[in-house]
Amino acid sequence: DSSDITEIENYRNANYNEPNPKYFGKAKGMNVIYISLESLQSFIIDYKLDGQEVTPFLNSLTRDPNTFYFKNVFHQTSQGKTSDAEFLMENSLYPMSQGAVFINKAQNTFHATPAILKGYGYNSAVFHGNYKTFWNRNVMYKALGYDRFFDAEYYTMKEEDTKNYGMKDKPFFKESIPLLKTLKQPFYTKFITLSNHFPFEMDEEDTDFPAGTTGNDVVDHYFQSANYMDQAIEQFFNDLKAAGLYDNTMVVMYGDHYGISENHNAAMSQVVGEEITPFKNAQLQRVPLFIHVPGVKAVQDDSFGGQIDVRPTMLHLLGIDTKDFLEFGSDLLSPQHHQVVSFRNGDFVSPKLTQVNEKCYDTTTGELVEDGTMCAENAERVKTELQMSDEIVLKDLLRFYTPNGYKPINPNDYEYIKEDV
Ligand code: GP9
Ligand code: MN
């Protein structure tokens, strides 16, 4: 009931971080494109296989003057995988510890980004080369306030253009451009890539990049598959330029979750050149985050953060203050940004301390911290935050709260029936 929400509101107000005036509103009025980079982990950025960069285009963006690159951002997903990352990105709430919010809580009230931006005149759409019912997206996207959902029905789905769950990234982006051009601006859109998905095996004709040589097929194919994704993103950026959309669009790209699980630690230790301890495995949960804003003097940012922090960061760039939203992220570009990153299981990383399986480590050295109480304060905060987020999600508390100036949406207003475009 509403007393539950008061406590959460108080916590939220106490933890709100003011936007950085240097960046607030720098992308005001621009279109927004999110790209979910399937299974992309940060270790691949600037990694060289046989002297060859695996992701040369993304690497160049880390040095691009208009691109913020965050190298210490971690995924916070659980069993809902891609859909958990989507949930974090658009609600700044934690996913569920078991099962997927997208499947279990799609009837809830949310104040998601597409709905928020509707109040600022934005049209929203998702592009994804798989069928709309996967992860219950066709139901959940109504609760998030998405106007359109271009799913597999809008793509050719030709045999040679599909792999695993659906469209390969290059034909996916190619076929998306004409659909994107039909949208009224400003738009808020999300592109969910697919090719770089476990088990990462490529069709021969799609790659001339070398495979790894660890002898572990999953890890070895990851290089080829990530390289293919990199090329697909470059192609998409070029097509945005050709479509005249590049100069008035902010592009946010994020790795959705790990691609290589702990089952492959032996091969991964060859890749990174050191043993994959539980501590090291936690550090490997970094996922790349890029925010390209035309005309802005951007920086490489090394603050620690999680996927939960992307929404306030992005909304502040658009010039929309987030202080009235019940959310748990904080603006990565704010000087007060809070750098303790919660994992869904209650462990955390921060610049100084990392907790894995309830053991406390020094983040800079990886050494066990003898005095285990050092981590206790952070662990307590992480626990509180996860509990509050769970309360919102499990008890559907946002139905009792309306942020200032926010116009509630009605999920029944949306349906994703194939239209002729
Ligand atoms: C499926 C795609 C992949 O549509 O989003 O899902 P994942 O297995 O990564 O959660
Ligand atoms: Mn995924």
Instruction: Check if 11 has its Cβ closer than 6 Å to any atom of ligand 1.
Output: no
Task: Check if 82 is active-site.
Answer: yes
Closest CA to 111 of 407, 416, 413: 407
pTM of the predicted protein model = 0.98
Closest ligand 1 atom to residue 257 Cα is: 9
- Atom 7 of ligand 1 has which residue's CA nearest to it? 82
Q: What is the pLDDT of residue 290?
A: 99
Which of 37, 39, 82 should be mutated for ligand 1, with most atoms under 8 A from CB? 82
Atom of ligand 1 lying closest to residue 83 CA? 10
Query: Using a 6 Å cutoff on CB, does residue 192 contact ligand 1?
Result: yes
Give pLDDT tens digits along the chain (421 positions): 677 899 999 999 999 999 999 999 999 999 999 999 999 999 999 999 999 999 999 999 999 999 999 999 999 999 999 999 999 999 999 999 999 999 999 999 999 999 999 999 999 999 999 999 999 999 999 999 999 999 999 999 999 999 999 999 999 999 999 999 999 999 999 999 999 999 999 999 999 999 999 999 999 999 999 999 999 999 999 999 999 999 999 999 999 999 999 999 999 999 999 999 999 999 999 999 999 999 999 999 999 999 999 999 999 999 999 999 999 999 999 999 999 999 999 999 999 999 999 999 999 999 999 998 999 999 999 999 999 999 999 999 999 999 999 999 999 999 999 999 9
Report how far residue 5's alpha carbon sits from residue 99's, in angstroms, rounded to the nearest whole number.
24
Name the 3-class secondary structure at 38.
Answer: coil
CA of 84 to the centre of ligand 2 (A): 9
Locate 86 and state its tokens.
């989507």
Q: Which ligand is nearest to the CA of 40?
A: 2
Ligand 2 (ion): residues with CB under 5 Å are: 38, 81-82, 256
- From CA 255, how far away is CA 38, in angstroms rounded? 6
Which residue is catalytic, options 55, 67, 82, 363? 82
Decide whether any atom of ligand 1 lies within 6 Å of the 130 Cβ. Answer: yes
pLDDT for res 1: 65
Q: Is 81 in the pocket of ligand 1 (CB under 6 A)?
A: yes
Question: Do 122 and 315 form a contact (C-beta atoms < 8 A)?
Answer: no
CA of 193 to the centre of ligand 2 (A): 8
Handedness of CA 389, 395, 397, 399 (dihedral sign): positive
CA of 130 to the centre of ligand 1 (A): 9
First to last CA, the chain: 44
Residue to mutate (ligand 1; options 138, 149, 165, 196; most atoms within 8 A of CB)? 165
Determine the Cα–Cα distance for residues 127 and 202; give it in Å rounded to an integer: 22
Residue pair 196/260 in contact (Cβ under 8 Å)? The answer is no
